Amino acid sequence: MKVIKVLNNSLVLSTDDDNHEVIVMGKGIGFGSKLGDVLDPASIEKIYAVQNNQKGREYLRLIEDTPEVHLEIVQMILSLASAGLKGRINEQIFFTLVDHISFAIERYHKGISIQNRLLFEVKRFYPQEFAVAVQALAYINQRLQIQLPEEEAGNIAFHLVNGQTDVQNMEHTLLAVKMLKDIFNIIQYHFRITINTESLNYARFLVHMQFFIQRMVEKQQVVSKDDFIFSQVIREYPHVYRCALLIRDYIKNLLEMEMSNDELLYLVIHLTRITDQDE
């Protein structure tokens, strides 16, 4: 790999084997480098692919103008995420986090505070991502000797959630958090219960709902032609089925789409577990 452009002391622009532009990260990799120099593989810590579109060009300009300490902070956040999260982190989160972190720090120095109205929901529905974000926030504040508020941990957590999906879309991530909140409210109101968030069934249900909502938002439902089991289950659990229908209607009104019987079936099965308060 050869140097196309030095972005700063730790980042250079290069190309991969398919001649696609990439950003190569390594401690001191850009120091003293010049156009055409061959990069030492031992000095390469991370490679980030640059999208071949206008957004990719904008991110490149952003990286060039970003203080090196901010880039170090983002790399630390991604290291924390790799260690603390089970899902694969999409490499494009590097660019979105650089953009977000730099803007958050700029807002702080200008005295501008933006409230995160979904902070409670992020803590509740994405505890692992939030825990990593809290670590990241502590590192930022210590590294820069500033005091970004807890809301910023919620914002970082949003990016970590978004970075674990195949479709990088923050609007979808925000919508998913809202849907989780609304669906849990529907369940608690229908069954007149308070869901035990410490139970194993809650953990199982939360994982199911996260993937369920992702399928709904991306319009990739589970569909089959066998309705025999579905008919049996709804006869056995009519009250649970009525709750599933309420959720179906909510999905239809919000996303303008019909849920398949397979999705309803899985929803009923998981609802029977989440409403079992004994576990």
For residues 181 and 145, is the Cβ–Cβ distance under 8 A? no
Q: In this structure, are residues 162 and 173 in contact, taking their beta carbons and an 8 Å threshold?
A: yes
Counted domains in the chain: 3
Supply the DSSP string of 62-107, one letter for each residue.
HHHHS-HHHHHHHHHHHHHHHHH-SSPPPTTHHHHHHHHHHHHHHH
Distance in angstroms (rounded) separating the CA atoms of residues 263 and 215: 10
Last residue of a domain, one of 132, 162, 192: 162
Residues of the domain holding 35? 5-50
Cα separation, 266 vs 158, whole angstroms:
27
Give 10-66 pLDDT, tens digit per residue: 888 888 888 888 888 888 888 888 888 888 888 888 888 887 777 777 778 888 888
Q: Per the domain annotation, does 41 fall within a domain?
A: yes
Element (H, E) at 12: strand 11-15
What does pTM read for this prediction?
0.71
pLDDT at 169: 67
Instruction: Give the separation between CA 129 and CA 132, rounded to whole angstroms.
Output: 5
Q: What is the pLDDT of residue 278?
A: 41
62: in domain: no
**Domain assignment of residue 120, yes or no:** yes
One domain for residues 141 and 187:
no
**Same-domain check for residues 225 and 260:** yes
Same-domain pairing of 34 and 124? no
Give the pLDDT band (50/70/90) at residue 254: very high
Sign for the CA dihedral angle at 221, 199, 243, 236 comes to: positive
The reply to whether 175 falls in a domain is yes
**Mean pLDDT across 97-111:** 90
